[in-house]
Amino acid sequence: MMRSKCCVYLSALLVLPGWPACAVAQELKAAVTVRFDRPPLGELNRLVFGQNQVAYDPATYQDAPSHDRFSSYGAGLWDPVAGRPQKTVLELARRAGTSSARFPGGCGSHRYDWEKTIGDPAGRPHWRFGPDAFLRWCEAVPCEPVITLSYFAGPESAAGLVEYVNAPNDGRNPRGGTDWARRRSENGHPQPYRVRFFEVGNEDYHGDHRGVPSVSPEEYAEQFLKFARVIREVDPTVQLGAIGGNDSWNRTVLARTGPQIDFLVEHTYWPGWYDCDDGEPPAKELFRDILASPDQLKSRYQALARLLDETTGRPGRVPIAVTEYNCPLVQDRPLPYRHSLGNALFVAEMLRVLTQPGNRVHMAHFWQFANEYWGAVRGPVRPDEPGTWVRRPQFYPFQLYAEHFEKILLEVEVDCPRYETVGFGQMLPCTGEGGPRMMLSRNLLEGVSWSLDKAPGVEHRIGPSDIVEVHFNSNREANYYHASKSVRAEPRAYYLLTGTIRASDVAGGSGISLQVGDGRGWVATKSATLTDVVTGTQERRVECVYHTLPDASSLVVQVRRLSGGTGSCEVKNVRLVKIRPECFPAVPYLSVNASQSPDQGRLSLIVVNKHMDQPIHTAVRAPGFPAIARVQAWTLTGPDITANNEQDANPVAIRSSPVDVRDGALIISLPPRSCTALVVQGS
């Protein structure tokens, strides 16, 4: 746990308690106190240092002869000709401290047919990286496997896979039909793999990217219970994860499945999707916001933990599994920010948050390890291809933690400069000491009439008291946005949209929600926010907060149903108010994660300097720690925040850093935009 006492760094003058006022151009200063003299926070959970492995080709999500580089080679992990892991990639996984690996990864699991991927490789030329290859790779690392089961293939297929990897080959074949344990033995692995963790599906609320546009939480919950029943008949020791989504999805799913789930799956793409190829906002400004965001995830994870306690009846016993996370930087110009030093520092901040026991994260998997669009390492997929393997910047935080971080977590206090930000994506503003939400206007929709446009397959009208009544009269796919109100708005402002949705027999597609977005429309701006959806037969109050674009001048509020189905709804009491949102405190430029060895003879710190341009002169003390015998430091940094290793030979890399010891304190100058590992050996 990091506690901060900080001064706000604005533009002209810095005042830090204990030091005289200094001009901003002078070196910034910080004091770090590692609370070696207090009880530890707990033991480090190394399962959070997991990676996603891709075993299907993202270009198709299906069997295609022209796309087997991932389904046969595991994006470079596997040599199907030799039948073994590729040595270089295996060593990279070990250097990254890979503790857990998820397979087959992401949306390709929707229709993943595992039966095509086992047996004689000659009979499956496009699917040679199947569960046997993956699990042998995990044994070689070694790391804990996590398998995502295909929701759309159904419970029987999932139970067959669990039987294939976990059942003893003793001839019993209790489920009848194919003796999958015998097949596994014939395929070269007589003993069970003993896989502990399985997810039932992957983001199934958005459908399967083929013929199913969406899945309702009620449908998912009913199907999850069927999966749980047949899988536990095969192996009652496995742990099953249910797919998480927005608050409405989570509440509905957990209310029906709570006693049966072992963990809730969360995907953290944070703080918001960035797809601009025009370099706006400037990279320094963008990453100042991005690096401020991970600390806000603490409240998100802790809220999920409270919801799990409330709905499962097992307080403190059902954890969160963050089986995908990354900063969703999905652009390529001027540079692919997803492979930059800035994203590496974001990963370092995420690892600090994920390791904290109070957030109840049981395991986590970075999206994703090798090649593909996001890979932390890149290189030749096939062993006979030319080229070498390159560590991208986002690889290095894992290496720092693997090589230099200890097993016991310690409390740490940080006294340093801090900065303010207006927020980005889902991230709320950070200013001063923070504060609660504040209303700044009346209802801006008062007196504004609903506009109704013609909508195929839908009957709608405006009833008494400004109530929108909508009836969906067919199962055809529909994208409903045809009831709307438009108002003027201010740029870079926050607006709260609230309303009540009464749904009746809403089924067969997505639920009903409200949306607020830029008045120029989604196609022109890609800027809008949805409330939670309402499905089935129920009445719920919904809300969302929207942050306008820098050039915004108007907003449009719409009744939304993203994909078709049947049922009807009434939408009432819709209000739009300008607000000052809940604010978090200003952001410390330094963040610190601290640990000690079990014998208390060694301290280790991972320190991130989020300042884009200035080093921070830092003094580190650990009251009660033995006299310092030796100290070493290794720093990850680069020439600028967008630096990457795509062209040049590792401008972003780990290098040793000088450290002094004065009067029992460590003195180090932490470079701008850097992540440093400090290791202190006591006498």
pLDDT in tens, 471-524: 998 756 678 999 999 999 999 999 999 999 999 998 877 889 999 999 999 999
The answer to whether residue 18 scores a pLDDT higher than 60 is: no
Residue 141 reports pLDDT greater than 70:
yes
350-382 confidence digits (pLDDT tens): 999 999 999 999 999 999 999 989 999 999 999
If phi > 0 it is left, if psi is from -120 to 50 it is alpha, else beta; for residue 263 that is beta
Among residues 230, 240, 242, 239, the alpha carbon closest in space to that of 204 is found at 242
C-alpha R_g of the chain: 26
Break the chain down into helix, strand, coil percent, rounded to 5: 25, 35, 45
- What is the sign of the dihedral through the CA atoms of 50, 53, 58 and 61? negative
The answer on pLDDT for 159 being more than 90 is yes
Across-strand partners of 102? 52, 146
23: confidence class by pLDDT, cuts 50, 70, 90: very low
Phi, psi of 642, rounded to the nearest 5 degrees: -95, 5
Mean pLDDT of the region 11-27: 39
How confident is the model over 215-248, as pLDDT tens digits?
888 999 999 999 999 999 999 999 999 999 988 8
> In Å, how far are 23, 143, 313, 619 from 93, measured between CA atoms?
45, 10, 38, 34
Q: How many CB atoms lie within 10 A of CB 502?
A: 18
The pLDDT assigned to 276 comes to: 87
Confidence of residue 212 (pLDDT cuts 50, 70, 90): confident
Instruction: Give the model confidence (pLDDT) of 183-211 as tens digits.
Output: 999 999 999 999 999 999 999 988 887 77
How much is the pLDDT for 62?
53
Both structure tokens of 474: 């067919």
What does the pLDDT read at residue 69? 85
CB-count burial class (<10 Å; 0-12, 13-18, 19+) for 681? middle
CATH topology classification for 2-41+413-428+587-682:
Immunoglobulin-like (2.60.40)
How far apart, in whole angstroms, are the C-alpha atoms of residue 419 and residue 81?
Answer: 54
Q: How many C-beta neighbours within 10 Å does residue 278 have?
A: 8
pLDDT, position 12:
28
- Whether residue 328 is predicted with pLDDT greater than 70 in this model: the reply is yes
- What is the location of CATH 2.60.40.1180 in the chain? 2-41+413-428+587-682
CB 147 within 8 A of CB 165: yes
> How many residues make up the chain in this entry?
683
* Whether 571 contacts 470, CB under 8 Å: yes
Position 8 confidence tier, pLDDT thresholds 50, 70, 90:
very low
CATH pick for 46-76+99-383 out of 3.50.50.60, 3.40.50.620, 3.40.47.10, 3.20.20.80:
3.20.20.80
Taking CA atoms, 442 is separated from 100, 194, 496, 498, 575, in Å, by 51, 60, 11, 13, 9
Residues of the chain with CATH 2.60.120.260: 438-580
Q: Which of 280-284, 431-435, 471-475, 595-599 has the lowest mean pLDDT?
A: 471-475
Cβ(251)–Cβ(311) below 8 Å = yes
Structure confidence at residue 20 as a pLDDT band (50, 70, 90): very low
d(CA 611, CA 641): 10
- Predicted confidence (pLDDT) at residue 2 exceeds the cutoff of 70: no
**Buried b vs exposed e over 6-16: b needs ≥16 C-beta within 10 Å?**
bbbbeeeebeb
* 91-108 pLDDT per residue, tens: 999 999 999 999 998 888
Pairing status of strand 320-326 against strand 263-269: parallel
| Res 627 pLDDT > 60 | yes
pLDDT band at 56 (very low <50, low <70, confident <90, very high): confident
Q: What percent of the chain has pLDDT over 70?
A: 94
Instruction: Give 258-314 pLDDT, tens digit per residue.
Output: 999 999 999 999 998 888 888 889 999 999 999 999 999 999 999 999 999 999 989
Please give the pLDDT value at position 419.
98
pLDDT score, position 466: 96
Residue 277 identity (one-letter amino acid): D
Across the chain, mean pLDDT equals 92
| Residues 170-190, mean pLDDT to the nearest whole number | 95
Question: Which pLDDT score is estimated for 22?
Answer: 38
Q: What are the backbone dihedrals phi and psi of residue 11, each rounded to the nearest 5 degrees, phi first?
A: -140, -20
CA atoms within 13 A on the CB side of 440: 13
Residue 66 has pLDDT above 60, yes or no: no
pLDDT above 90 as % of the chain: 81
- Greater confidence (59 vs 380) lies with 380
> Could you identify the residue written with the tokens 């999500």?
61
Q: How far is CA 591 from CA 220, 236, 338, 352, 368, in A?
A: 39, 42, 21, 9, 24
- The whole-number average pLDDT for the span 446-452 is 96
Q: Which band of pLDDT confidence, cut at 50, 70 and 90, is reported for residue 61?
A: low
Residue 562: is its pLDDT beyond 90? no
| Mean of pLDDT values over 165-182 | 94
CA distance 345 to 484: 41
pLDDT in tens, 513-542: 999 999 999 999 989 999 998 888 999 999
**pLDDT higher than 50, residue 24:** no
Residues of the chain with CATH 3.20.20.80: 46-76+99-383
Q: Looking at the domain 438-580, which fold is it?
A: Jelly Rolls (2.60.120)
